[in-house]
């Protein structure tokens, strides 16, 4: 007798998984409290005081649904970036937008090109809609644009994912090279250009807001989760042609954006002075993390993000032992999941007290590992 499943064959075939295990789950599993939360690339510096004030002032309106057209935030983003409101789609973080994009483009069996070891949540969505992942390895700890382009053409892929700056390695490409890559893609291939870390990127690495705006096969994704300090609010946005972004209205959750999250994003966008201060603090934290790594015989990689990837000098087993050992001291960090990237650990920029704990615990962990 054939076993019955109420789910689709695709859903039945998929494992029940979480792309990133949260620090809360680790605390539950190990019975160890997180004292330094420097693993999830959140901003421990938090949002601007003006943002917290706006949330408090608007809290009484929580009984209302949010504007399903997200008009105010689209207009504010358009004014900030010199584009038009119809160039923007708003979503519950980039993760939500990635799922919608895959749903719009991919049917079961279709090839999707990405880098081996790149953002796991994107892969999660591709698998969830039955896409077939085709991957190119990193080269010199950067996503390999030439290899990605070759794969797109070989597979006639309708979708390619590329992040600049990159997670998990923190590397980046110059804006001119990215624009050239976008123009070299077949018109039948949609490029997801994930710019979650655009605010912390060095000058010349992020294409101008209007540089790709006329390409219907490019969607740029950004977030308020990183430098703006609103990871828990879940506010992301995509930038593209009006025809491309209007397609989201066919499938998105129109009432999915929380009202207070939108108010927080509006306030954050208007407080660029605070953003500049946080970016400076992130840079200082990156430099300190790199110094701690070098003092312990490890090699920090150059970073354009709010974290530093650190080459631990051996393999993934050793890097995992460092991650686990630090957690025993209450220091939560993460690591890439695929060889050879998994020779590294990854430490998020954090408050001085968080980095103090990291600095104290790391040599003890390394000594214990021998």
Q: What local confidence, expressed as pLDDT, does residue 293 receive?
A: 98
Contacts of 105 (CB under 8 A, 6+ apart): 158, 159, 190
On the question of a cis peptide bond just before residue 165, with omega within 30 degrees of 0, the verdict is: yes
Question: pLDDT above 90 covers what percent of the chain?
Answer: 96
- Three-state DSSP class for 293? helix
pLDDT of 338 > 60? The answer is: yes
Task: Look up tokens 């969830």; give the residue.
Answer: 128
Q: Among 12-26, 135-149, 153-167, whose mean pLDDT is lowest? A: 12-26
Cβ of 355: how many Cβ atoms within 10 Å?
Answer: 23
CB 333 within 8 A of CB 321: no
| Domain 20-46+273-369 architecture | Alpha-Beta Complex (3.90)
Return the structure tokens found at 255.
Answer: 């009432």
Return the structure tokens found at 224.
Answer: 């308020």
Rounded CA separation 238/245 (Å): 7
Contacts of 205 (CB under 8 A, 6+ apart): 164, 165, 172, 173, 174, 175, 304
Question: Average of pLDDT values for 36-47?
Answer: 97
pLDDT of 1 > 60? The answer is: no
pLDDT of 105 > 90? The answer is: yes
Predicted confidence (pLDDT) per residue in 350-362, tens digit? 999 999 999 999 9
Closest CA relative to residue 165, chosen from 143, 181, 149, 145: 143
Return the structure tokens found at 279.
Answer: 């970016």
Write out the residue limits of the CATH 3.40.640.10 domain(s) in the chain: 49-270
How big is the chain, counted in residues? 370
- Three-state DSSP class for 243? helix
Question: Average of pLDDT values for 318-330?
Answer: 98
CATH code for the structural domain at 49-270:
3.40.640.10
Write out the residue limits of the CATH 3.90.1150.10 domain(s) in the chain: 20-46+273-369
pLDDT of 19 > 90? The answer is: no
Cβ of 265: how many Cβ atoms within 10 Å?
Answer: 29
Q: What is the DSSP string of 193-219?
A: EE-TTGGGSPTTSS--TTSSTT-TTEE
Strand order in the sheet with 344-348: 299-300, 307-311, 344-348
Rounded CA separation 179/351 (Å): 35
Question: pLDDT above 70 covers what percent of the chain?
Answer: 99
Rounded CA separation 227/277 (Å): 10
Predicted confidence (pLDDT) per residue in 194-250, tens digit? 999 999 999 999 999 999 999 999 999 999 999 999 999 999 999 999 999 999 999
Q: What local confidence, expressed as pLDDT, does residue 307 receive?
A: 98
Return the structure tokens found at 134.
Answer: 């085709």
Rounded CA separation 273/269 (Å): 10
CB 52 within 8 A of CB 232: no
CB 113 within 8 A of CB 145: no
Return the structure tokens found at 187.
Answer: 């018109």
Better pLDDT: 134 or 1? 134
On the question of a cis peptide bond just before residue 304, with omega within 30 degrees of 0, the verdict is: no
Rounded CA separation 276/274 (Å): 5
CB 130 within 8 A of CB 10: yes
């Amino acid at each position: 007798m054939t076993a019955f499943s109420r789910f689709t064959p695709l859903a039945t075939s998929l494992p029940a998984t979480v792309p990133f295990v949260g620090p809360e789950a680790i605390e539950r599993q190990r019975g160890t409290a997180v004292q330094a939360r420097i693993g999830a690339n959140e901003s421990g510096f938090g949002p601007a005081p003006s943002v917290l004030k706006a949330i408090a002032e608007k809290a009484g309106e929580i009984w209302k649904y949010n504007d399903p057209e997200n008009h105010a935030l689209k207009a504010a983003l358009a004014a900030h970036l010199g584009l038009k409101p119809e160039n923007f789609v708003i979503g519950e973080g980039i993760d939500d937008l990635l799922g919608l994009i895959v749903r719009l483009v991919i049917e079961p069996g279709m090839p999707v090109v990405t880098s081996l070891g790149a953002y796991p949540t994107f892969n999660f969505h591709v698998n969830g809609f039955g896409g077939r992942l085709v991957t190119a390895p990193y080269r010199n700890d950067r996503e390999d644009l030439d290899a990605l382009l070759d794969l797109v053409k070989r597979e006639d892929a309708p979708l390619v994912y590329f992040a600049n700056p990159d997670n998990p390695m923190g590397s980046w490409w110059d804006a001119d090279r990215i624009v050239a890559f976008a123009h070299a893609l077949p018109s039948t291939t949609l490029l997801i250009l994930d710019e979650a870390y655009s605010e912390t990127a060095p000058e010349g690495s992020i294409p101008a807001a209007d540089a790709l705006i006329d390409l219907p096969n490019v969607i740029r994704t950004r977030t308020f989760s990183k430098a703006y300090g609103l990871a828990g609010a879940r506010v992301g946005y995509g930038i593209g042609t009006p025809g491309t972004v209007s397609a989201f209205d066919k499938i998105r959750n129109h009432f999915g954006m929380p009202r207070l999250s939108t108010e927080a994003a509006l306030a954050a966008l208007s407080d660029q002075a605070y953003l500049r201060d946080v970016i400076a603090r992130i840079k200082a934290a990156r430099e300190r993390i790199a110094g701690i790594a070098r003092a312990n015989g490890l090699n920090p990689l150059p970073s354009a993000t709010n974290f530093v990837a650190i080459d631990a000098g051996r393999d993934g087993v050793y890097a995992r032992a460092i991650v686990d050992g630090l957690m025993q001291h209450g220091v939560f960090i993460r690591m890439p999941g695929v060889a050879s990237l998994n020779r590294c650990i990854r430490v998020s920029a954090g408050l001085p007290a968080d980095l103090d704990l990291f600095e104290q615990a790391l040599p003890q962990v390394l000594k214990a590992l021998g």
